[in-house]
Chain A
Amino acid sequence: MNPTLMLNFTRNRVQSPMRLMLFFLAFVPPIVMALIARSLQPVQAGSAVFALIFTAGAVGQDVSSGVLQLLFARPVGRREYVLSRWAAGGLIGAALGIAQLLLASLVVLSRGAAPDPSTLLRLVLENALGGFGTAAVMVMLSTLVGGLGDVALWVFGLMSTQILTMAAMAKQWDWLRKAADELRAFLQPELPLGWLSGMGSADVAVILRFFLAIALSLAIAVTMMQRKELSYAAD
């Protein structure tokens, strides 16, 4: 991973008015909802949303704008480039998700509903991991299509899982429902950590599935980048 690439990516992302507007819409309303409901429920998956907003088009926009050709004229490896995009996107998502969670905790606390410290710690960890999971998937999708096509792919994938689930229920096809669940879990990687605070027991398969989604996404992303033909004569 390259700190300069990560820093430049972060700077580029936070200078986008559209992303900042989406960030505002995803950041403030859930805190207001937490204030009204006196609960942290509305802010439980913030980091995944922020990672989605700030990682969308991480590679595809560079490809579409021709930045990649210039970037790879320098001594920057493609794996280094992909992993830096992922790390920066994950860090942004995790940091903003945790910030939202802590702000919501203060808001809830001010209304006399003190959040349980172990629950808060669990949510912080889940947010941190969720940000890196979503960032990996978005970086992978971004290597497949140009521009912001990764968002369209992601939405299409999730809609497909809904349709498959409905078809599975109608036809009583359990295998199809399981396949749809697996696809959904891959597109929305999350790692519930309730077992850390005594809520149920750890599910090894769920833990493996989360890290598998990240590793597989990054492996696909790096492979796709390796195969990309980049030349000034292209297009």
Chain B
Amino acid sequence: MPQTDSGAPKKQPARFDASWLALIAAALLLAYIASRVWQNDHPAAPAQQAEALGWVEIAQATNVAKQTGKPVMYDFSADWCQPCQMLKREVFDNPVHAKALEASIVPVKVIDRVQEQGQNPPDIAELQQRFAVDGFPTLVVVDPASGRSVKTVGFMGAEETVAWAKQAANTVRLGVNPDGTPVR
């Protein structure tokens, strides 16, 4: 029979001391598994997801950029990339930041599919090659008229990302870096 630390026989209820915690944990586990299964069976349609930023399709990006006079910003990301999800959550899904970005650029989402499908669709592969994307997230701001572009890799913080995008839009439009050097 289990003994208490003072040597007296242990009272039976003490053995089940953790039972209510275990019950809560078991209930949460079941609910968690159920929610995951449900999410797996009912993936949210793009229209139902919270999209504060008005993403433009890759094929339409150049036309929209010409019509609006704004450069294109490609967001190269992947579903498995955690910093990409942070960037999405803190910048693109934030209505304030999204509005600030839309005032400066035409946003285009480019999601890597190598992990899931073995290879990328041709348009995504072409964009990744063109801008030499070798990590995620990568943001590229490009002026379709001149072909000038600037790139940044990694998530630098919400405010910093918005400030960078605004600066990059000016840089590619004017063809001059903030330090006065010309942009290729």
The residues in A between 111 and 169 inclusive whose CB is less than 8 angstroms from any CB of B are 113, 116, 169
Query: Which of these binds chain B: A10-18, A93-101, A222-230?
Result: A222-230
Interface size of A as a range:
35 or more
- Determine whether the beta carbon of A208 is less than 8 Å from that of B21: no
Q: How far is the CB of A102 from chain B (nearest CB, A)?
A: 18
B66 contacts the other chain (CB 8 A): no
Residues from chain A with Cβ under 8 Å of B118 in the complex: 172
Name A113's closest neighbour in chain B (CB-CB): B159
| A192–B157 alpha-carbon span in the complex (Å) | 15
- Determine whether the beta carbon of B32 is less than 8 Å from that of A78: no
- Determine whether the beta carbon of A199 is less than 8 Å from that of B24: no
The residues in A between 182 and 235 inclusive whose CB is less than 8 angstroms from any CB of B are 192, 194-195, 198-201, 204-205, 208-209, 211-212, 215-216, 218-219, 222-223, 226, 230-231
- Determine whether the beta carbon of B14 is less than 8 Å from that of A77: yes
| A201–B90 alpha-carbon span in the complex (Å) | 12
Given contacts A39-B160, A72-B5, A201-B50, contact A208 B24 (CB under 8 A): no
Q: How far is the CB of B6 from chain A (nearest CB, A)?
A: 6
Residues from chain B with Cβ under 8 Å of A195 in the complex: 50
A73 contacts the other chain (CB 8 A): yes
- Determine whether the beta carbon of B31 is less than 8 Å from that of A218: no
- Determine whether the beta carbon of A205 is less than 8 Å from that of B39: yes
Which of B21, B35, B80, B96 touches A222 (beta carbons < 8 Å)? B21
A37 contacts the other chain (CB 8 A): yes
B28 contacts the other chain (CB 8 A): yes
- Determine whether the beta carbon of B32 is less than 8 Å from that of A205: yes
Name A82's closest neighbour in chain B (CB-CB): B18
| A177–B94 alpha-carbon span in the complex (Å) | 28
A2 contacts the other chain (CB 8 A): no
- Determine whether the beta carbon of A198 is less than 8 Å from that of B18: no
Q: How far is the CB of B87 from chain A (nearest CB, A)?
A: 12
Q: How far is the CB of A233 from chain B (nearest CB, A)?
A: 10
A41 contacts the other chain (CB 8 A): yes
Q: List 21 A-B contacts (CB under 8 A).
A: A39-B159, A39-B160, A41-B156, A41-B160, A72-B5, A73-B6, A79-B21, A174-B116, A177-B80, A198-B94, A198-B95, A199-B94, A201-B49, A205-B32, A205-B35, A208-B32, A212-B25, A216-B28, A218-B25, A219-B24, A222-B18
Supplied contacts A199-B93, A222-B21, A226-B17, 5 more A-B pairs, CB within 8 Å: A79-B18, A192-B89, A195-B50, A205-B32, A205-B39
Q: 8 smallest A-B Cβ distances: which pairs?
A: A222-B18, A72-B5, A41-B157, A212-B28, A219-B21, A215-B25, A200-B93, A205-B35
